[in-house]
A and B are shown apart, each in its own frame.
Chain A
Amino acid sequence: MKIVGVTACTVGIAHTYMAREKLISAAENLGMEAHVETQGSAGMENQLTEQHIKDADIVIIAADVAITGEDRFHGKAVVKVPTNTAIQTPESLLRTIQKKLQVAN
C-alpha cells in the first residue's frame, strides 16, 4: 500500500510531528510506502509532490485543524483522523485502511 499523509495540530508544535513520525514508522514496519507532509508552526515541511499523490492508494489526513491544500486530493480515497489516532494506534489504523481497500477493490 502506498500512502500519502498530512498532519496538523492546534499549536503546530508537538502532535503534528509525532503523528508524522508514527505513521512513517508504522508504514515501514508493515512494508508500506509513506510520504507525510507536516503543516505546523515551522510552515509546510516534507511537502508532497504531485507524483506522490498520483501514486498513492490512500490519503491520510491526521489533523485536529483544517489543513491547507486539501483540493490536491480530489478524486482520491481520503481517511481523516485526529492526530492522537495516528500517534496512539498507527499500525492498526494502517491495517484497517488496507483491509477496507482490499474489500473495495
Chain B
Amino acid sequence: MNDLIKDNINLHADVKTRKEALYQMSVMLEKNDVISDKDAFYAAVLDREAIGPTGMENGIAIPHGESDVVKDAAIAVFKTNQDLKWDSLDGKPIKLIFMLVVPTQHRDVNHLKILSHLSAALTHKDVQQQLLTENNVTDFKKILEKSGGM
C-alpha cells in the first residue's frame, strides 16, 4: 500500500476557518518533516486558492500546494469538528479536507499518480459518504485503498 498520508491526518480537527485549517495543516506537515518551511508552503497553497475554488462537492475540499520546500509528495487530511465556509462547486460548506502536497523538484511520477487517483476516487458519492462518516484513521485509510485512491 502506498500510504502518502502516513501521520498527516486528523479526523477531529478543531479549526474554525478555511485559512486556519490550511495553516494548521501546514504546521502538521512541517512537524512530520514532509515540508521544510510551513510559511512558504502555506503561501503556495494560498496562491493556488486564489486561482479558483478548491471546494468540490458534498463537503469535500482539495486544496493543493506546489513548492520547493516540499521534500516528497504527500497527502494531508483534516476532518473538522465544525463546517467551514469555503468556496465550493455546490455551495455547501466544507468538513473534509484533502491537501495535496507536491514537490517542485525530484518528482516521483508514481506519487503524482497516487494524488491523481485520489482526486478521481473522491468524485464518487459512495466514497464521499463513507469517508465523511468514518472517524477511525485505519478504517479511513482502508476506504481510500479500496476505492483506488491510494
Residues of A within 8 A of B (CB): 10-11, 13-18, 20-22, 25, 38, 40-43, 45, 64, 84, 87-88
Contact = CB atoms under 8 A, between A and B. Distances in A.
Contact of A40 (B53, B89, B116): B116
Given A40-B116, A87-B123, A14 B109 contact: no
Interface of B: 48, 51-54, 56-57, 62, 64, 66, 89-90, 100, 102, 107, 109, 112-113, 115-117, 119-124
Nearest to B90: A88
A11 B56 contact: no
Contacts of B121: 21
Nearest to B51: A10
Contacts of B51: 10
B58 to A, nearest CB: 12
7 contacts: A14-B100, A16-B116, A21-B124, A22-B123, A25-B124, A41-B115, A42-B116
